Amino acid sequence: MALSLHWFLPTAGDSREVAGFGPGATRRPADLDYLSQVARAAETVGFDAVLTPTGTHCEDAWLTTAALIRETKRLRFLVAFRPGFVSPTLAAQQAATFQRLSGDRLLLNVVTGGSPEEQRRFGDFLDHDERYDRTAEFIEVLRGAWRGDMDHHGRHYRVEGATVAGAPVPAPPIFFGGSSAAGKQVAVRHADTWLMWGEPQDQAAQQLEEVRALAAHAGRSVTFGIRLHVISRDTAAEAWAVTDRLLDAMPHDVVARAQGALRASESVAQARMRALHGGERSRLVVAPNLWAGFGLVRGGAGTALVGSHEEVAERIAEYHALGFDHVILSGQPHLEEAWWFGEGVMPRLRAAGLLDGTRPVASADRPVEGLLAEARTPVAAS
């Protein structure tokens, strides 16, 4: 399967800093003009889709991406939303409408839940595993409504004759993340693509193999995606200098508060992110070209690929060789970083054939670096 690269739509606002604080901190509001610039940049440099987040502190993903349909031509929208806050039949109808209006450019990212505090803010008081149980039912009804005339009497949902006018053909692929045992069971039984946050390659490979085995046991197969930030520059020194600037802008008291909140999270994936660095500034380089500084002050994806364009391309090719066909990236700020990546890394991956259906096959005598070396010179932006 071809490597599919995705960008991120900063619907909570954008900044040159990780969390918009520190000396000289800048803030860019998530208005339609700016988000349109980010979406058009992502489309121009060759990203397949943009992920739009969900949660209290960002704009509604459905409304935002619908507003961007006419601002783009081929870019797809990976819309994150939470089951339990909306009827699955209504979500099926929204998805069908989006597909028709956009020309089949919708991807769905089903997000089971955030922190317990945020879930309760929306009126959701289920515990961790119950939320995943509800998600499984939600996706069953969602898919059933697309097929037409769906009856479902479950613990969390009861519908009769659920259907939508003009069911989407093709149905939007469903992306799903969950690193707990309950989450992985939902993924292998109901999702098309399982997502994880960026971990060192050996740990990521273990997670991938576990989910692949669970899917095989369930009589299914899924594809895999990984979510990372990225800082790519002409030289490695320039890229790592950016991490120094970002780290200098993180006040120690803000890091301490953030780490305290993240320790209380129920999320297994969040615990894995935090374990990479333990809240220590001295432990942030967790693998070659993998920096965990974002996770000091942010929940969610906490690691970034950092290095020269060649190094970043090599690491992405290695993740692809492991089996990750979707790589979802972001940067600070998203507009400029999209161009850095699009002009520096994307041409190298394209020249090596990785964006056209080739999966690199590494071996002891021919590592991934060698597979990319043939395409390194000359490199022309496109």
Domains of the chain (ranges, CATH numbers): 4-373 (3.20.20.30)
Distances, alpha carbon 261 to alpha carbons 246, 256, 258, 300, in Å: 21, 9, 5, 12
Between strands 304-308 and 223-233, the pairing is parallel
User: Tens of pLDDT along the chain (382 residues)?
Assistant: 889 999 999 999 999 988 665 555 668 999 999 999 999 999 999 999 999 998 888 999 999 999 999 999 999 999 998 888 889 999 999 999 999 999 999 999 999 876 777 767 766 667 888 999 999 999 999 999 999 889 999 999 999 999 998 887 789 999 999 999 999 999 999 999 999 999 999 999 999 999 999 999 999 999 999 999 999 999 999 999 999 999 999 989 989 999 998 888 888 999 999 999 999 999 999 999 999 999 999 889 999 999 999 999 999 999 999 999 999 999 999 999 999 999 999 999 999 999 976 666 654 454 666 657 655 544 444 3
Torsion angle defined by CA atoms of residues 334, 335, 338 and 339, in that order, rounded to the nearest 10 degrees: -150
d(CA 62, CA 319): 30
Structure tokens at 22: 């520190």
DSSP 8-state secondary structure symbol assigned to residue 14: B
Structure tokens at 254: 């803000």
d(CA 231, CA 239): 6
Q: pTM of the predicted model, to two decimals?
A: 0.92
Q: Judge whether 157 and 103 are in contact, CB under 8 Å.
A: no
d(CA 381, CA 342): 8
Q: Which residues pair with 139 in a beta bridge?
A: none
